[in-house]
Amino acid sequence: MTSARPDPLDDAETIPRMPSWVTSARAETIEDVAFLSGAALGHLHIVVTRDDLPHPLLRDRLALRAAEACVAFSGRPERAGELRDAVYLLRPGDLPGPAGETFMTWRRVVRRPVSVSVLCRAVPTLEQSQIDTWLNAGQGAPISRAAMVLQTVLMEAPRAEALALILAEASLAKSLGWKHLIPLLAPGLKRADLRKQGDDLRLACHRALIASAVETIRLAADLARRAEHVKAVAPKLRAKGAAKAMEMFLARDAVAAAALPLPSRAARRLCDRLVDLRAVRELTGRGTFRLYGV
């Protein structure tokens, strides 16, 4: 009897999990929760600064999660699948719609090193001086600063949830010395949290960060394993343009075959081949207008 072939994605984890005491501890006071969120941030910092992580892909996928949360906060029904369709199947001259634009904005802010100029280009309706003022509204430790930025923006623009969260995330990234914005607060906060202020909002932000840090580390570990498999598969691909295509898969949450630098038929064959090799997955479950991702 022959043994089953080993699954290339079942290798031992290369990225350590969050210590169990961070997630299992019962903390009620803001001091206790702040301690745990600090521990979570410290562990997350070690993970997101690793060289073996597909950083652009991780940020792009987190941008999808952040956009999905913001769309829900605004009362719209679109979820991840619809957001992907709105952006990755967009044709020249078409508009992505409000939900798609939210996703595109998050993608823009995570792709380049965080700065006021990048934020201005991502949200062109705002003056640079206004963004700079809001970014500097916070004081104290990183999460306290981010919570204050969030509160300040929402007080002045109550329906601008996505903008407020983007600036809060930017404040957090700059306070932590991270080169890029990594969405953590948006995926972890609840809609009711955005109506809180002061200590209540800070407490909600600490708790949101703990939850998001755990999920981000789990996602990072999964993407690191998958990226390693993609790189192992790459030498087997002989199609012209395959190397560029693999770079796209390692940098984007999703890719349409039509976006690959190959003729349409060759692009579809390459995607089918990558699915067979378990290097990418088909994300939509459809027979047409398919999207693929690591």
Q: What is the pLDDT of residue 138?
A: 86
Report d(CA 275, CA 252) in Å as an integer. 16
> Are 242 and 214 found together in one domain?
no
Report d(CA 181, CA 161) in Å as an integer. 17
> Are 70 and 138 found together in one domain?
yes
> Are 209 and 70 found together in one domain?
yes
Q: What is the pLDDT of residue 38?
A: 95
- Residue 180: Cβ within 10 Å count: 18
**Contact (CB, 8 A) for 166 and 106:** yes
Find the domain containing 287 and state its range.
Answer: 237-293
Report d(CA 220, CA 14) in Å as an integer. 10
What is the bridge-based pairing of β-strands 292-293 and 281-282?
Answer: antiparallel
Of 166, 190, 224, the domain-final residue: 224
> Are 172 and 268 found together in one domain?
no
> Are 153 and 274 found together in one domain?
no
Q: What is the pLDDT of residue 50?
A: 92
> Are 147 and 179 found together in one domain?
yes
Instruction: Pull the structure tokens for residue 193.
Output: 């949290």
Q: What is the pLDDT of residue 13?
A: 53
Of 224, 245, 272, the domain-final residue: 224
Q: Is residue 181 part of a domain?
A: yes
Q: Is residue 230 part of a domain?
A: no
Q: Is residue 170 part of a domain?
A: yes
> Are 241 and 216 found together in one domain?
no
Indicate the SS3 state at residue 232.
helix
Q: What is the pLDDT of residue 12?
A: 39
pLDDT in tens, 41-71: 999 999 999 998 999 999 999 999 999 999 9
What does the mean pLDDT of the chain come to? 93
Query: Among 5-14, 96-105, 129-138, 211-220, whose mean pLDDT is lowest?
Result: 5-14
Close Cβ partners of 225 (under 8 Å, ≥ 6 residues apart): 9, 11, 13, 14
Query: Among 6-15, 56-65, 111-120, whose mean pLDDT is lowest?
Result: 6-15
Of 224, 246, 272, the domain-final residue: 224
Q: Is residue 100 part of a domain?
A: yes
How many structural domains comprise the chain?
2
Q: Is residue 18 part of a domain?
A: no
Report d(CA 106, CA 66) in Å as an integer. 7
- Residue 100: Cβ within 10 Å count: 23
Q: Is residue 263 part of a domain?
A: yes
Q: Is residue 162 part of a domain?
A: yes
Report d(CA 190, CA 170) in Å as an integer. 19
Assign 2 a pLDDT band (cuts: 50, 70, 90).
Answer: very low
**Contact (CB, 8 A) for 38 and 155:** no
**Alpha helices in the chain, H assignment, sequence order:** 20-24, 30-48, 55-73, 80-88, 97-111, 116-122, 128-135, 142-156, 161-176, 185-188, 198-233, 242-249, 264-276
pLDDT in tens, 231-265: 999 999 988 889 999 999 999 999 999 999 999 99
Q: Is residue 286 part of a domain?
A: yes
> Are 43 and 176 found together in one domain?
yes
Higher pLDDT, 227 or 5: 227
DSSP single-letter state for residue 92:
T
Query: Among 121-125, 194-198, 245-249, 277-281, whose mean pLDDT is lowest?
Result: 121-125
> Are 219 and 103 found together in one domain?
yes
pLDDT in tens, 130-183: 999 999 998 899 999 999 999 999 999 999 999 999 999 999 999 999 999 999
> Are 135 and 190 found together in one domain?
yes
pTM for this model (two decimals): 0.93
> Are 79 and 217 found together in one domain?
yes
Report d(CA 17, CA 47) in Å as an integer. 9
> Are 174 and 268 found together in one domain?
no
